[in-house]
Amino acid sequence: MKSRIFKGKSLFYGWIIVAAAALGAFFSGPGQTYSISIFINSYINGFGWSRSLVSGYYSIATLIAGFTLPLVGKAVDKFGHRKMFAVIPTLLGLTCLWMSIVSHPIMLIVGFFFLRLLGQGSMSLLPSTLVAQWFSRHRGKALSIMGIGGVASFAFFPPANNWLIQNFGAETGWRVWSLALLLVMLPVGWFLVRDKPEDMGETPDGKTSKETKEKKKKDTPKRIVFKDNPWMLGQAMKTRAYWFMIYCTSVPAMINTGVTFHMVSIMQTKGFTPTFAALILSVIAMVQFPMTFVAGFMVDRFKIHIIKTIGYLVYGVNLLILLLGTSQQILLVYAALHGVFMAFESVSNNVIWPNYFGRKYQGTIRGTAMTAMVIGSSLGPLPFGFAYDYFSGYSEILFIMTIFSLTASIPAFFSPPPIYSHDGNGSS
């Protein structure tokens, strides 16, 4: 079926896809740590558990979800994005409903597992791989616009959850998100999402073959151009870049999840209120929003592995600011720098996998990368919880995480795009 309305000089349907994907990124919120963390005190107070115990449940559930996520990536390649955009929001909505009736530790772990698998994992995987199908030369720009959905989610869910819990209770909060997923995200996914431009008589970026060749000649000095080679997972796994980027994906996921999960407690150890902790999260989102566009521009024009190398060095320094900062002004500087890092990390992660390994099997390949990210995030909350329970603070664990961030810059630097070989073997 051709999309005549969106061809020519009118709107390329890919931008409708970007809008739908941005909404999908927004609705990953119920399964993200920045959202779930607002509910944690309700479970600690309601069940009388220690912070380490709840952190352990969360880590175990996230770890199992990480190992399950590759199945979602394979399902995306097999069934397509449109069907998965109907199935995943439905299951996530039902999971939110489940969380509203949790009354036993086993129910909590099961709920955490599906929130992390469907929310953090699947609802992050689907939008990024979908947009990458529709764009090639403007992939960075399109993914940065899609990233607005994730930034809006980060900014919206924590205060919204806090308001719902304070006024109506945690149970009602979960039911609100269940209804929103089923009544908003599900129909948008089914009626607007299409798997790839070729299904609608389009080409990536909405350009004809002639236009694409002319654009390449014109922009070659200004843009980093990647060939859309059909890497399979086995080929990708033979390259150094694949494994180095897997490591680089997992490190910030581990640190960010640990810090965000315990942000209120971290700020309290420094003498600040939960309100200031919420302000820190808001500043991160407010800075990340405009910097997402800057990141999208830069990853289309500069080497991604160099951008990521610089990012991990900056992040390591920023963690030292969080560790040593004692004033509100210094901690707000931390929040601003963290927002910059998150913008570049998010956009570069979305771009690097299709750029390095092509569009054809990106669901499977990106699914394994998302597995590394989810597993990494599972390793974050528990060490922070232990640090608080045994050292009455977070200084030791923040110092260790600083080292992790700085060391991640090394594999990032040595991860240029791999060379595709038509004999079935890739090389770094």
Q: What are the pLDDT digits (tens) for 277-287? A: 878 888 898 89
What does the pLDDT read at residue 1?
43
Task: Assess contact for 384 and 397: CB atoms under 8 A.
Answer: yes
* Rounded alpha-carbon distances, angstroms, from residue 6 to 76, 128, 144, 197, 215: 25, 22, 21, 11, 20
What are 238-272's pLDDT values in tens digits? 999 999 999 988 999 899 988 988 888 899 899 98
At residue 392, the 3 state secondary structure works out as coil
Write down the CATH superfamily of domain 4-201+215-413: MFS general substrate transporter like domains (1.20.1250.20)
pLDDT of residue 329: 94
Mean pLDDT in residue range 44-54: 77
- 8 class by beta-carbon count within 10 Å (0-12 exposed, 13-18 middle, 19+ buried): exposed
Can you spell out the DSSP letters for 249-267? HHHHHHHHHHHHHTHHHHH
Residue ranges per structural domain of the chain = 4-201+215-413
pTM of the model: 0.72
pLDDT in tens, 93-139: 999 999 999 888 888 899 999 999 999 889 988 998 899 889 888 88
pLDDT of residue 220: 45
Residues 153-210 pLDDT 10s: 988 898 889 889 889 998 999 999 999 999 999 999 999 999 888 888 888 877 654 5
What are the tens digits of pLDDT across the range 377-399? 888 888 888 888 888 889 999 99
